[in-house]
A and B are shown apart, each in its own frame.
Chain A
Amino acid sequence: MELDRLFRDRRGAIVEEWVAALLRIYSEEGAKFFGSVPNRFANPAGYIFRTNTERIVSKLMDGADETECRQDLDGILRVRAVQGLSPSTALCFIPALKEILYREACQVVSPEQADALLHNWYIRIDRLLLLGFDIYMECREILWQQKANQLYDRTHKLLEKANLIQKEDSTG
């Protein structure tokens, strides 16, 4: 299909635009840092943002199922889930891909045709967004669970040390 070939030819540009959309939420200095040529140890967030978006775009273009993007999306959202962002801010880069593809498509077909031809892409991106919500919530739940466990462990241990916990007698 013509659009798919166009997207494959323009893969690099599409990734660049998507990374730019991903970085738009940060301050000028933050976006510059995350967007610089990333060293995976000196700039792990920038590295994850860049490499994972590249992989997601490639997988989607190769016709992979959205769920195969889970690990890459997880990498990005795991960072954003601890950056003090609202859920919509953390995830807003995902629907931005629709607009990026639409603009690309409009270079070769009319806007009406573009929307029609991109119908399946829109559905896949929506699914990716839903998957993103699941991942974001999982990350947040780990944090809350850790807080709850810390409190539980602290209280339980003190009670245990003070011999105030009656254990069930397994021998009946």
Chain B
Amino acid sequence: MSTLPRPEELYAKINHTPPKADWMDVPVDIKPGRYCYAANPDSLNYVGLPHARKWNPLDEDWKLPENWKEIIFNGIRERLDKYRSFKVFMDICVRCGACADKCHFFIGSGDPKNMPVLRAELIRSVYRGEFTTFGKLLGKFAGARPLTEEVLKEWWYYLFQCSECRRCSVFCPYGIDTAEITIMGRELINLLGLNIDWIATPVANCYRTGNHLGIQPHAFFDMIDFFCDDIEDITGIRPEPQFNKKGADILFVTPSGDVFADPGTYTCMGYLILFEYLKREYGLDVTWSTYASEGGNFGFFTSHETMKRLNSKIYMEAARLGVKWIIGGECGHMWRVLHQYMDTLNGPEFQSSNMTVPKNPITGTVFQHAASTKMIHITEFTADLIKHGKLNLDKSRNAGIHLTWHDSCNTSRGMGLFEEPRYIIRHVVDKFTDMPPGTIREETFCCGGGAGLNAGECEELRMMGGLPRASAVKYVHEKYGVNMLGCVCAIDRAVLPGTMKYWVPEVTVCGLHELVGNALVIPGEKEREVNLRGEDLPGKEDE
């Protein structure tokens, strides 16, 4: 036996240890599973984004325009002048590291370039090298470097490994919002046509047809009609939603994921039941639109200009229909744009003069916080109805569910929506357990698929980034028997089912209004046997 080679000798030629090197000297290694496919040039052309072409991130030649450096430098210069936040964020970071271990992608991968500080440093180093005297003189000693094709590829790879969730910003003592740096970085590389398709094509579809998938108005109508069939089967009551109704009081806009993708479809059925109930009981006048049929704003992931254009479509439709105000569905990015960008992008003067500060006609509540946007989140609306005793809810229909709550990044850190969902939950579900502190509310972990990273080809990235969220879910599942993860974001509803299947297969995912739809008792409805998913209600299994 002693003549046999030792195990270490056997493995000696297989070296799994990465070389020690300064981060600037580690070349970018673009790995399948972690990047999204390049944008379809037709999609870029449709919305007038520059340098549309076919290219492949795995190719050596990215077919950059000849003057690509000049484009980037001009782009940086323009943004430094235009956005004070960008200038400040480039200059004030002291690299204290408070953000370093707060990003879900770093927590899952251990890749240092996924530390928010270092991801931002990818751009800062070029800013220093090309725009500051100190950096020009001292180079690498001052943390500066020149812009090369290799650096550009590194930018592209890591800027699309940031979901702009802003968890890191919560921990920065200087208040640096690293998501803002990602946004600027994406704007810069998009000037060279380096977009990803999972953003560019939804943007083009949304701009042209009104929603990400490019589903035309008649198909949108058919899908909702299909849900009404199901609701009629389950409750005996057929909702009669209104579409494109001129003169309606309220416009309802939700992410198209709720209309076309499970489990969002059950959330959509919940909205339909709620509005039908309110129409029958209180005469609420709500219309859907087949033209502004998308709440999610993917323009946010490309540039301020596309964000502005997609946001404006909702308000143009509101003006066309002459509604007074808008209710927005369970969406994430829609709310971030609305609360943090819209007023300076489009401004109150952009809105039709018909629009008024949202006032719930049933309860009389005036939503003063939405005075400038004229739009409230559906959980604010529903919580207000419950608070005033306007809904007849039967929790027992959700008795099979032990819920925990995923605070979606954009509604949490973008608008502070923490209590309204939990207030509704307490009225529609008996068994509810929050995940531990540090993983919820403003410190909530991202699903890993935000900011355009929900493409099929980068599933590994999402699973890796979804680990911290899944870890907290696993804990409450094992300790308390939680079997359902609720959320108010269409991206969450698209991403988290896959994440749960991989990490905690015993837990499924739902939207909040699916649970409201299950619990809400419509006057005259038949005794329900199944929930909105068609599953037997508790106690009805053997009948």
Which residues of chain A come closer than 8 Å to B501, judged between CB atoms?
142, 146
> Interface readout for B86-108 with A: 1 if CB under 8 Å, 0 if not?
00000000000000010000111
Question: Do A83 and B464 contact each other (CB < 8 Å), given the known contacts A28-B20, A45-B107, A116-B1?
Answer: yes
Residue in chain B with minimal CB distance to A88: B14
* A24 CB contacts on chain B under 8 angstroms: 16-17
Is residue B7 within 8 Å, beta carbon to beta carbon, of the partner chain? yes
Cβ of A47: which chain B residues have Cβ within 8 Å of it? 471
Count of A residues near B, CB < 8 Å? 44
CB–CB B438/A30 < 8 A: no
In the bound complex, how far is the Cα of B459 from the Cα of A78, in angstroms? 14
* Chain A CB within 8 A of B391 CB: no
A16 interfacial contact with B, CB 8 Å? no
Task: Assess whether B2 is interfacial by the CB under 8 Å rule.
Answer: yes
The answer to the question of B245 belonging to the interface, with a C-beta cut-off of 8 Å to chain A, is no
Minimum CB–CB distance from A94 to chain B (whole Å) comes to: 11
**Cβ-closest chain B residue relative to A146:** B498
Q: Which residue of B lies closest to A34 (CB)?
A: B110
Which B residues are in CB contact (< 8 Å) with A142? 501-502
Does chain B have a CB within 8 A of A172?
no
B7 and A41: CB pair below 8 A? no
Residues of B158-181 at the interface with A, using a CB-CB cut-off of 8 Å, are: none
Q: Are B18 and A27 in contact (CB under 8 A)?
A: yes
A27–B107 touching, CB < 8 Å: no
Q: Determine the chain B residues whose CB is within 8 A of the CB of A78 once the complex forms.
A: 502-503
Closest residue to B2 on the A side, CB-wise?
A112
Chain B binding surface, main DSSP class: helix
Chain B window 10-42, contacts with chain A (Cβ cutoff 8 Å), 1 for yes, 0 for no: 010010111010000010000101100000000
Q: CB of A133 within 8 A of chain B?
A: no
Q: Closest B residue to A86 by CB, please name it.
A: B16
Interface bracket on B: 35 or more
Given contacts A30-B109, A83-B109, A41 and B502 within 8 Å (CB-CB): no
Would you call A27 and B111 a contact (CB within 8 A)?
Answer: yes
Residues of B within 8 A of A92 (CB): 11, 14, 16
Whether A143 and B460, one on each chain, are in contact in the complex, defined by CB atoms closer than 8 angstroms, is yes
Q: How far is the CB of B227 from chain A (nearest CB, A)?
A: 12
A42 to B475, CA, bound (A): 13
B115 touches A143 (CB 8 A): no
Of B107, B226, B502, the residue contacting A161 (CB under 8 A) is B226
Question: Cβ of B14: which chain A residues have Cβ within 8 Å of it?
Answer: 88, 92
The answer to whether A99 touches B6, judged by C-beta atoms less than 8 angstroms apart, is yes
Further contacts, 11 of them, CB under 8 A, given A83-B108, A89-B16: A26-B18, A30-B112, A31-B110, A34-B110, A44-B107, A45-B110, A92-B11, A102-B6, A112-B1, A146-B498, A161-B223
Please give the residue numbers on chain B whose beta carbons come within 8 Å of chain A beta carbons, in ascending order.
Answer: 1-2, 6-8, 11, 14, 16-18, 20, 26, 31, 33-34, 101, 106-112, 115, 222-223, 226, 436, 438-439, 456, 459-460, 463-464, 467-468, 470-472, 475, 498, 501-503
Question: 14 A–B contact pairs at CB < 8 A?
Answer: A31-B110, A33-B110, A41-B471, A42-B468, A44-B470, A82-B464, A83-B110, A111-B2, A112-B1, A112-B2, A115-B2, A143-B459, A143-B463, A151-B456
